[in-house]
């Protein structure tokens, strides 16, 4: 499965992976039934393989930037992989309750795969990474993204995979010839329909072209918070801004926590940024740690924020935080036990759930800081009141791993789901602009100090997923489960009693 995602992009591997997984489950059936413990164990092993390979960058974050030893890093990464694998596997315990024939298996496998992905998108604050649908930003199935999102693409992909597995196995009870035809149609039709759906413009542009400039300063993570490197950091962003100002851009983007200081610690610099934005008529959006004082919340609160300097100054505070990176779960118990639980930004507090969009260059921007872009429902809800998606990040935490490339791919899916341009500003890459069809139209290479310009449009209107959310996918998955259960009970064999009334051995 990992080979189907960026940077490998062998999308067919997602189909083969799920088909092999389904085939293994079918092969484990005993007397046409799928034992719950067996399916749970097999799904857990599948999850271990998926997260140990696909989320291998977690080890880099823990050891390289969390300053953990190799044994501790392996232990923490192993624990993370095991927990995520268990969350993936848990719904599959119930697969056998819906399955004893080929038709019911295909329906139940696809629906439970969706439930598995949805479940781990919110439990323990969620880790919605490595969803099968992310491999299909450029296939026919991408047309379903504005309707059912990445969740629905995964469901349809799993349905096709289950039918492939059934074609290679005869372990489950057979069905009539007409049933075979229904299975084949159910597996194949979503693909050409997706191709047709991709031709629909769910949203439309409003106003003229907006010219965007972005500064990728390439600040090494190990130097980012060093006081002696602060001057160099500020110089890189100011030089990049001056260069972009000469190119007649409308708005300039700096990445997440671009300035290594609190907003309140540098009032002179903040005032200078505001004056420069007003004088040049170029709005600036930057990530910065923003400090507030709220006696009701225990005094000083520090937020991971995005601030606009220009004609409409405003601030957005990140809502969905990263465990350990921005806050420490069970802080009173584990803070200080090891260095990894005391990272330099692990004191962040989340912002209010309801916050207005940012305004820059005459358009409304949906701000999504780093990890927030991987939550489909959060982005869809935020995009309803905005015309452009803005995500700022610091993927230096992932090092030279596959993590930043996967992160970029997920951002592309959010543009597809909402029918909006997406602007992504990062410290070390990938800095890019994505069009409403999910295609990268401009980008900078990783680990280079560089600037970039590109054009976007403000988009209005809403996709079906923005209006209905994940409930649309449930409206597809739950009837599939109900039908699978109905077919299972209808085809359940009656007891074969002997003449004496006793069940045979």
In the chain, the percentage of residues whose pLDDT exceeds 70 is 88
Place of tokens 């610690």: 265
| Per-residue confidence (pLDDT) for residue 184, from 0 to 100 | 83
| pLDDT on residue 342 | 54
How many Cβ atoms are within 10 Å of 441's Cβ, its own excluded? 13
Whole-number Å distance between alpha carbons of 426 and 219: 10
State the Cα–Cα distance between residues 286 and 425, nearest whole angstrom: 9
pLDDT(341) > 70: no
Give the mean pLDDT of 180-193.
86
pLDDT in tens, 199-215: 999 999 999 999 999 99
pLDDT at 117 (0 to 100): 98
For the cut 60, the answer to whether the pLDDT of residue 430 exceeds it is yes
- Give the CB-side neighbour count of residue 148, counting CA atoms within 13 A: 24
User: pLDDT tens digit string along 268-297?
Assistant: 999 999 999 999 999 999 999 998 876 565
Among 161, 34, 46, 44, smallest CA distance to 98 is for 34
Tracing tokens 């629906």 back to the chain, one arrives at: 111
Indicate which residues carry an active-site annotation.
256, 318, 370
C-alpha separations of 479 from 107, 110, 467 in Å: 9, 12, 21
Domains, the chain, ranges and CATH?
A: 2-200+466-491 (no CATH), 204-319+354-462 (3.60.110.10)
Asked if pLDDT for residue 264 goes beyond 70, the answer is yes
Please tell me the distance from the alpha carbon of residue 103 to that of residue 237, in angstroms, as a whole number: 59
- Give the pLDDT confidence of 89-147 residue by residue, as tens digits: 999 999 988 887 788 899 999 999 999 999 999 998 889 999 999 999 999 999 999 99
Q: Which residue has the tokens 């992905």?
A: 117
| Mean residue pLDDT across the chain | 89
- CA distance linking residue 413 with residue 146, whole number of Å: 9
Per-residue pLDDT, averaged over 358-386, amounts to 96
Handedness of CA 16, 29, 98, 129 (dihedral sign): negative
The predicted structure's pLDDT at residue 125:
86
| For range 219-233, the mean pLDDT | 90
Amino acid 179: pLDDT? 66
User: What's the sign of the alpha-carbon dihedral 451, 455, 461, 462?
Assistant: negative
Q: Assign 72 a pLDDT band (cuts: 50, 70, 90).
A: confident
**413 with 438: CB under 8 angstroms?**
yes
pLDDT at 500: 34
pLDDT at 490: 66
User: Looking at residue 449, what is its pLDDT?
Assistant: 96
Locate all alpha helices (DSSP H) within 168-309, ordered by sequence.
177-188, 190-197, 230-245, 267-280
- pLDDT at position 15 over 60: yes
């Amino acid at each position: 499965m990992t080979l189907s995602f960026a940077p490998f992009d062998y999308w067919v591997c997602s189909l083969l992976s799920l088909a092999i997984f389904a085939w293994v489950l079918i092969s484990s059936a005993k007397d046409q039934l799928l034992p719950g413990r067996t399916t749970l164990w097999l799904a857990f092993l599948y999850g271990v393989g998926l997260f140990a390979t696909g989320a291998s960058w977690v080890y880099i974050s823990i050891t390289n930037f969390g300053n953990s030893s190799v044994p501790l890093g392996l232990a923490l990464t192993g624990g993370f992989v095991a927990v995520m694998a268990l969350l993936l596997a848990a719904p599959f315990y119930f697969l056998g309750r819906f399955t004893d024939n080929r038709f019911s298996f295909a329906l139940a496998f696809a629906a439970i795969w969706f439930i598995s992905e949805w479940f781990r998108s919110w439990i323990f604050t969620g880790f919605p990474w490595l969803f099968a649908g992310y491999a299909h930003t450029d296939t026919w199935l991408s047309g379903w993204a504005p309707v059912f999102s990445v969740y629905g693409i995964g469901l349809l992909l799993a349905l096709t995979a289950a039918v492939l597995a059934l074609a290679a196995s005869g372990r489950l009870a057979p069905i009539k010839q007409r049933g075979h035809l229904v299975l084949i149609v159910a597996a194949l039709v979503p693909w050409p329909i997706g191709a047709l759906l991709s031709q629909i413009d769910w949203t439309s542009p409003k106003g003229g072209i907006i010219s965007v400039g972005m500064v990728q300063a390439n600040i090494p993570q190990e130097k980012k918070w060093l006081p002696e490197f602060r001057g160099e950091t500020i110089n890189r962003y100011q030089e990049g801004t001056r260069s972009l100002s000469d190119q007649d851009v409308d708005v300039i983007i700096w990445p997440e926590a671009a300035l290594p200081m609190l907003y309140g610690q540098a009032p002179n610099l903040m005032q200078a940024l505001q004056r420069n934005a007003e004088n040049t008529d170029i709005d600036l959006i930057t990530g910065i740690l923003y400090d507030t004082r709220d006696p009701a919340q225990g005094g000083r609160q520090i937020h991971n924020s995005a601030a606009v300097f220009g004609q409409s100054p405003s601030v957005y505070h990140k809502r969905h935080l990263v465990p350990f990176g921005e806050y420490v779960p069970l802080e009173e118990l584990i803070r200080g036990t090891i260095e990894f639980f005391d990272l330099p930004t692990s004191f962040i507090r989340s912002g209010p759930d309801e916050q207005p969009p940012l305004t820059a260059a005459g358009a409304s921007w949906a701000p999504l800081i780093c990890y927030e872009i991987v939550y489909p429902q959060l982005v869809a809800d935020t995009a309803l009141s905005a015309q452009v998606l803005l995500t700022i990040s610091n993927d230096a935490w992932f090092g030279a791993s596959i993590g930043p490339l996967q992160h970029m791919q997920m951002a592309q899916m959010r543009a597809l789901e909402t029918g909006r341009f997406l602007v992504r500003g990062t410290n070390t890459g990938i800095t890019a602009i994505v069009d409403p069809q999910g295609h990268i139209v401009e980008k900078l290479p990783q680990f280079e100090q560089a600037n970039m310009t590109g054009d976007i449009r403000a988009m209005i209107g809403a996709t079906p997923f923005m209006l209905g959310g994940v409930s649309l996918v449930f409206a597809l998955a739950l009837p599939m489960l109900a039908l699978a259960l109905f077919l299972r009970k209808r085809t359940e064999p009656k007891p074969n009693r002997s003449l004496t009334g006793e069940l045979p051995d």
